[in-house]
Structure 1
Amino acid sequence: MLHVPGVTDCSPAEVGYDASRIATLHTHFQNLIDQNKIQAASYCVSRYGKTFMHGALGPLSFREDKTDPLLPTTIHKIASITKAVASVAVAKLVEDGIFRFDTPVGEILEQFKAEPLNKIDIYSLLTHTSGLYPDCAPDYIPYHKSYWQLIGEYFARVNLEDGPPDWITAALSNGVSKKVGEEWQYCSFGFCLLGEIIKKVTGVTAEQYIAEQILQPLGMQDTMWEPTPELAQRFIIRNEMYEQRLNDLISGKTADSGLSQQEKLWHTVSSTGGGLASTPGDLIRFANMLLGMGTLGDTRIIGRKTVEKLTTRTLYGVPDYCWGGYNSDRSYGIGLDMRRGPGFLYSSTTYMHEGAGACSMVIDPTEQLAAVWFVPFTGDNWYAEGLYNVTNIIWSGLM
């Protein structure tokens, strides 16, 4: 077993945790690696704000002839866990009185003033109940064009001499699939729109706002939108395309180097739906800020009542049919998942967010336990045992 331990603050026993369960977690991860379901795994778990489990297993690179180990400090894309960070950014603006959760999007973005888009508010974007088409829509709607396809087609034909590009209008030509509040439909495009809302009301990009107002104050130095050449050397190597991109960054090429106009235009779309990268040890700082009711150490990000609002179940009786599922009552907070059911051992107060590819952040206020782990799936696969089963192994160690 190729295991590299990370830095911890205390022993498992000091926070009431059965240390033998760590070996069980390692065995589980190694089995998934041996089954070629994941390339590697890394994790960081804390209780009462103290890290007692931290490490990595498996290879850094997808290439079989490479023997460098994955490290606890290796950087991964966190995909949709970015949405949890973006939700806190939106909440900060609510605290500052810039808008409310129930503010219609049309009061900020001109494109949403028309029917039926004028019914969509910030709350419905955060809870995936806006009625906008879900990420999984192309799987079951004939001739459907995703928001990303429509934006790409627009960027291919836009004439910049006519003024700033309006990708929002281009995407919204799709219309909506449901009424507001009718159904939970996971929509990453909705979080890109939240990024545009942040940009519109602050005068800076959402990426800059989040970096200055959340990441930097929390000391999350290994969390970023675009890596520097130095940080690019610490990224996991998932495939040939990403390996080449990392090598380009390490050699000094910028993210825009050699890109066509169309490719550069994509950088005008907010990355708040899934653009951040981080490490388990860095992301646990964000998790512990939420466990600290908006504060980490002496650093306040948001207030206690705001955290209570984000992490209290807000949806009841709203169905979810995404990715072929059938859930007649989707449990959800504001920007944070509150998935329930017989398959999980965590407390009923628990909230979380998953990221494609895959990674997970799970926070249990009752037990004051926070866990972050990365399990890069092989290919485009998805395995519940890399996410849900891991949750149960970690929570089983509480004494």
Structure 2
Amino acid sequence: MIRIRLLAATFCLLASSAAFAADLPRARPEEVGMSNERLARIGEVLKADIDAGRIPGAVVAIARHGRLVMFEAYGWRDKAAGVAMTTDTIFNIASMTKPMTTVGALMLYERGQLLIGDPLSKYFPKFANMRVAARDASGEPTAETVAADRQITVQDLMRHTSGIIYGGRGNTLVHKMVPAGSGDASREYDGVAFLDKLASAPLLYQPATVWDYGFGLDLLGLTIEKISGQTLEQYLKANVFTPLGMKDTGFSISPDQAARYAKPLPVDPDTGKPQARSPELTQPLKFECGGGCAASTASDYLQFAMMLMNEGRNGEARLLGPRTVAYMLSDQLGPHIRNLIGNADPTRADYGFGLGLAVRTTPGVVKMMGSVGQFSWPGASGTDWWADPKQELAVVYMSAAPGPVRWHYRQKINALVYQAIVD
């Protein structure tokens, strides 16, 4: 029985690798300035950590100079059931949903249906007269409120400067008035109730004054639905997923896909607390949250990353114009905006932020290697990706490891990939 299962897993691995390779030409590492010997360290490190029970498994996809140099699966898709990882495994990607939602909105921007400076209240009038938590002498928010200095704009939603924060990332009175995060909101509220909940709570900050992680991209997703007359999944499937060949990306897991859906370890290796998929996408969401509710595969997401690195085009599909992509990937935080990115993700501390994703603005200072212009935004379920246009490098790392250990692997995979570049 075990032999049959392993043979089936091997067949799936070969089939999915072949299908992906047909879309993206393969190269030996040395042909694109990478060392095969050094690249092999990724597998050695991951296998040792999987054996030590640190993560269940992982899939790594690396492309350089437009050619695939690594596409490998390690460990277990479902360790408890003894199911091996394969390259076509589907993962919850959490906040890696955000850049895809942003691209969807920018496509409306290019069609003249949306403006970056549009107030959110243009689409949802209940956000027209928002209140902001007043501060006491020590700067802490109080139960008192003051009027917002200006309205929340689409740009604020895209760059996390709306003042609408995730409730699970603080203990203030404002945090306690809103859902913990995107996944929690999608399980508890439908779109209308979610909008009512956020519009009735005060903002934690005046708009456009502080970068703080929150529901901006979920609100952007609902704005896309309002403009397009489609659900977010319908819109993104027609305009992003299908054109890029992202056949396993969406906001639900079908019965046919369920066997390929990755599970985390039952218990977090650091905290000892139980772990489960969140959200559980085999069950319907109450609304398709653009901030964190999609699932995808490493090969699908690599197509998306390469589209952005190639200035809006991947193969025959052009989603955005080059100037729009350049604007998306430019730092949108001026000197007047307080940057709290490091509170949301310590590995992205000292990055700037574009529209829907982090952008690197300095060759040093930050905790990881990369070039100025590198862009990324990882997922709380244990997934990560980045693209480095200067190096013509795109990397996707997928693992069902949602605990604090995910920050460790973001740094570790970054180091292992860059040390393999030898030109």
Matches within 5 A, 1:271-350: 271-317=289-335, 318-320=338-340, 322=343, 331-339=352-360, 341-350=365-374
Give the superposition deviation at 1:110.
Answer: 1.2
1:139-175 deviations in Å (ceiling 9; x for gaps): x32584252279989x98x9x9xxx944312232221
Residue in 1 aligned with 2:72?
55
Cα deviation 1:364-383 (Å, max 9, x = unaligned): 01111000011322x63334
Tell me whether 294-303 or 23-32 shows the greater mean CA deviation. Answer: 23-32
1:360 aligned residue: 384
Q: Indicate conservation of the 8 Å contact 1:137/1:146, yes or no.
A: no
Matched, 1:104 2:135: no
Aligned to 1:41: 58
Question: C-alpha distance in 2, partners of 1:273/1:311?
Answer: 18
- In structure 1, stretches of 5+ residues that fail to align are 250-254, 257-265
Given the alignment, which residue of 356, 369, 375 partners 2:399? 375
2:39 paired residue number: 22
Deviations 1:319-367 (A, max 9, x none): 2162596999651111111255342221111000100121111000111
Which residue of the partner structure matches residue 143 of structure 2? Answer: none
Q: Does 1:75 align with 2:90?
A: yes
Whole-Å separation in 2 of the counterparts to 1:115 and 1:363: 37
Aligned to 2:227: 201
- The answer to whether the 8 Å contact 1:375/1:386 transfers is no
- Give the deviation of 1:393 after TM superposition: 1.1
Letter in 2 for 1:336: L
Which amino acid is the alignment partner of residue 238 of structure 2? Answer: E
Contact 1:294–1:301 under 8 Å retained in 2 = yes
Unaligned runs of 5+ in 2: 1-8, 132-147, 267-274
* CA distance 1:383–1:231, shift in 2 (3 Å): closer
The superposition leaves residues 67-88 of structure 1 with CA deviations (integer Å, 9 ceiling, x where unpaired) of: 3310111111111100010010
Q: Contact 2:369–2:418 at 8 Å: present in 1 too?
A: yes
Work out whether residues 59 and 397 of structure 2, in 8 Å CA contact, stay in contact via their aligned partners in 1: yes
Structure 1 residues 328, 69: CA separation in 2 closer, same or farther (over 3 Å shift)? Answer: closer
Q: Distance in 2 between matches of 1:360 and 1:192?
A: 20
The alignment status of 1:178 with 2:205, answered yes or no, reads yes
The answer to whether the Cα contact below 8 Å between 1:82 and 1:274 also exists between their aligned partners in 2 is: yes
1:12/1:149 CA distance change after superposition, 3 Å: closer
Q: Is the 8 A contact 1:350 1:364 kept in 2?
A: yes
Which residue of 2 is the match for residue 90 of structure 1? Answer: 105
- For the residue of structure 1 that corresponds to 2:210, the secondary structure is coil
The residue aligned with 1:141 is: 172
Q: Residue 230 of structure 1 aligns to which amino acid in structure 2?
A: D
SS in 2 for 1:58: strand
Aligned positions, number: 371
Q: Is the 8 A contact 1:311 1:334 kept in 2?
A: yes
Contact 1:223–1:279 (8 Å) recurs in 2: yes
Match for residue 260 of structure 1?
Answer: none
- TM superposition shift of 1:48: 2.0
Seq. identity, %: 24
Give the Cα separation in 2 of the matches to 1:200 and 1:126. Answer: 17
Aligned equivalents of 1:175, 1:143: Cα separation in 2: 7
Whole-Å separation in 1 of the counterparts to 2:300 and 2:192: 35
Which is strand-richer, 1 or 2?
A: 2
Q: Does 1:191 align with 2:217?
A: yes
Q: Counterpart of 1:89 in 2: which secondary structure?
A: helix
Match of 1:391 in 2: 414
Instruction: Show CA shifts across 1:172-213 (max 9, x none).
Output: 2221000112211011x2211111110111111122111110
Residue 233 (1) aligns with residue 259 (2): yes
The 3 A distance-change label for structure 1 pair 195 and 59 is same
Contact 1:193 1:270 (C-alpha < 8 Å) held by counterparts: no
Shift of 1:279: 0.9
SS at match of 1:315: coil
After superposition, the CA RMSD in angstroms is 3.2
Residues 1:285 and 1:348: Cα distance change in structure 2 (over 3 Å): same
- Structure 2 Cα separation of the partners of residues 363 and 294 of structure 1: 13
Q: Is the 8 A contact 2:174 2:202 kept in 1?
A: no
Cα shift at 1:389: 1.9
Picking from 200, 207, 214, the partner of 2:240 is: 214
TM-score (norm 1): 0.84
